[in-house]
């Protein structure tokens, strides 16, 4: 780690003092938003960086992103750490937060890493650190089978097929756009519905019993990837043989990768006990 840092700071000094004189000159003259451009004749050389954590901020250990700052001794820190440390280098107490470490910024942007879900089929590659942003909305993210005591975890499209083949029951299917009536008995905590086809999306209807009433949630089992299983829904409840009804809906059904049995803190319908008639 130390040798890597020293190296970086030497190069950084060159860049800061205006000397973008590297023989591989792949960067425009030190402008604010340096963009890496490689001329066509130039062969792109690549190698292997064995310790990817060299590209993490040594203070907070998160992936470094532009801007990266350095002190006079060449210690580096990310911009939020510079603010948190009141611009005092944690290693040598010299000021940090004014001089950018431009070579490190270039290195971080030039290192390409695969999506963490590459082993599940995602072929996207990102500059270091950006893969974590993508991971949150990667359509290959693992989703967990909602069937009790089945721990199967695969990307959602495969999970839908698995559920249909292993646990599906024809009366637990729903059709988009239709009114689908579901009786949740007082003992049921989870009811799983599947859109009416073998690869149809799974929707988990859950009830959470609390002292003052019952919380009901509707979530689609899918990653938060754009365009994947986006549904809207409306829940309504009317007590048997009594006047009145309650309803709750969302234009965008929340998506979850795994069913949780913790009482929700948002996106639920709450039915107070006095309004219940024995089933929901
Ligand atoms: Zn940091
Ligand atoms: Zn320092
Ligand atoms: Zn991905
Ligand atoms: Zn299963």
The 10s digit of each residue's pLDDT in 4-53 is 222 233 333 333 333 333 333 333 333 444 454 555 567 878 888 888 89
Number of H helices, E strands in the chain: 5, 15
Q: Which ligand is nearest to the CA of 166?
A: 4
Q: Which ligand is nearest to the CA of 85?
A: 1
What average pLDDT does range 218-236 have in this prediction? 87
Q: Cα of 180 to ligand 4 centre, how many Å?
A: 23
Q: Cα of 39 to ligand 1 centre, how many Å?
A: 33
Helix intervals (H) in 61-155:
79-84, 102-110, 130-135
CA-based diameter of the chain, in Å? 84
Q: What is the pLDDT of residue 70?
A: 97
Q: Which ligand is nearest to the CA of 145?
A: 4
Q: Which ligand is nearest to the CA of 143?
A: 4
Q: What is the pLDDT of residue 47?
A: 85
Distance between CA atoms of residues 253 and 65, nearest Å: 33
Q: How much is the pTM?
A: 0.69
Average pLDDT, the chain: 82
Q: Cα of 76 to ligand 3 centre, how many Å?
A: 30
Asked if 202 and 161 count as a contact pair (C-beta separation under 8 A), the reply is: no
- Which domains occur in the chain, in start order? 2-110 (3.30.40), 112-139 (no CATH), 142-275 (no CATH)
Q: What is the pLDDT of residues 131-167, one digit of tens each?
A: 988 988 899 999 999 998 898 999 999 999 999 999 9
Q: What is the pLDDT of residue 255?
A: 93
Contacts of residue 10, Cβ cutoff 8 Å, sequence gap at least 6: 74
Asked if 99 and 26 count as a contact pair (C-beta separation under 8 A), the reply is: no
Q: Which ligand is nearest to the CA of 134?
A: 3
Q: Cα of 84 to ligand 1 centre, how many Å?
A: 9
């Amino acid at each position: 780690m130390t040798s890597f840092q020293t190296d970086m700071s030497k190069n950084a000094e060159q860049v800061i003092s205006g000397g973008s004189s590297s023989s591989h000159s792949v960067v425009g003259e030190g402008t604010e938003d340096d963009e890496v451009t490689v001329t066509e004749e130039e062969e792109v050389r690549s190698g292997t960086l064995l310790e990817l954590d060299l590209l993490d901020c040594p203070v907070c250990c998160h992936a470094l992103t532009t801007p990266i700052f350095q002190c006079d001794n060449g210690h580096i820190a990310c911009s939020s750490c510079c603010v948190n440390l009141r611009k005092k280098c944690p290693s040598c107490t010299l000021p940090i937060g004014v001089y950018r470490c431009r070579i490190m910024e270039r290195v971080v942007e030039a290192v390409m890493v695969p999506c963490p879900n590459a082993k599940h089929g995602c072929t996207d590659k990102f500059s270091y650190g950006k893969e974590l942003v993508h991971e949150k909305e990667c359509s290959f993210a693992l989703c967990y089978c909602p069937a009790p005591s089945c721990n199967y975890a695969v990307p959602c499209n495969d999970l839908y097929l698995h559920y249909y083949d292993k646990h599906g029951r024809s009366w637990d299917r729903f059709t988009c756009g239709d009114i689908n009536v579901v009786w949740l008995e007082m003992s049921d905590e989870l009811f799983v519905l599947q859109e009416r086809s073998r690869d149809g999306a799974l929707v988990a209807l859950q009830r959470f019993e609390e002292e003052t009433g019952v919380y009901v949630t509707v979530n689609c089992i899918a990653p938060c990837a754009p365009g994947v299983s986006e549904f809207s829904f409306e829940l309504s409840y009317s007590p048997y043989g009594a006047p009145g009804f309650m309803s709750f809906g969302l234009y965008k059904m929340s998506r979850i990768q795994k069913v949780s049995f913790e009482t929700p803190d948002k996106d639920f319908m709450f039915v107070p006990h006095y309004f219940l008639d024995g089933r929901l």
